[in-house]
Amino acid sequence: MKKTLFCVVISLLCATGVFAQAKRKTQSVAKPKTGIRSVDFRNFTYNNIGEGNRVTLRKGRNLVKGEYSSGNYGSELGTVKYLDFDGDGKEEVLVVVDYSQEAAGANWSQHYFVFAYRSGAAQQIFHDSRYKASGFRLSGKSLIVEAPFWKDDDAHCCPSLAETATYSWRGNKFVLVSQKFKPWK
């Protein structure tokens, strides 16, 4: 009798545990990503990076071994931020791609892309870049980029100004709404 009762109790405990585990698995199933969030920007081809090249990232990178240096260079995914820039109720995405050339580490830039999801695919609606950018941020629905700025007579080593450029959605596109300069420190 004790053995039978013990077996029944163990069977009930096992069945309860299996049921609870199955229920937890069912509850934790994630919803499939839709719209612009369904696009894998870590494995994506970007246009106009560097000298107008197409660059395909795989696992967020497209780096090659340097011929003249010990490091790698190329392109790497930086930031991905979702926001409804144009106010249509659907998200767009800001994607930042960092780019470098081997030239003694002197040539690197950040590329700023905004994509919308149209006709079942990501469509680029904005691109700009800054050489040796010092940072960017989003303020409301505006993109603000800070970077050194060289006058025509500045040496490559020494920009004379710092630029703050602000882009905002106007009508059906992003436009430069503000460009401020201050002395480079």
pLDDT in tens, 135-144: 899 999 999 9
Count of CB atoms situated within 10 Å of the CB of 132: 13
Question: Phi, psi at residue 128, to the nearest 5°?
Answer: -155, 165
Residue 105 per-residue DSSP state: G
What's the CATH fold of domain 31-183? Lipocalin (2.40.128)
Q: Is the pLDDT of residue 13 over 80?
A: no
- The whole-angstrom separation of Cα 142 and Cα 145 is 10
pLDDT reported for residue 18: 46
Tokens of 171: 């009508």
- The whole-angstrom separation of Cα 53 and Cα 69 is 22
pTM: 0.78
Task: Determine the residue type at 169.
Answer: W
pLDDT reported for residue 8: 47
Domain ranges of the chain: 1-30, 31-183
**Taking a C-beta distance cutoff of 8 angstroms, is the pair 94, 143 a contact?**
yes
Query: What is the torsional sign of CA 146, 152, 156, 160?
Result: negative
Q: Is the pLDDT of residue 107 over 90?
A: no
pLDDT mean over 149-177: 93
Q: Which comes out higher in pLDDT, residue 144 or 10?
A: 144
pLDDT mean over 99-124: 84
pLDDT reported for residue 53: 78
pLDDT mean over 72-93: 92
- List pLDDT tens digits, range 146-155: 999 999 999 8
- The whole-angstrom separation of Cα 55 and Cα 58 is 10
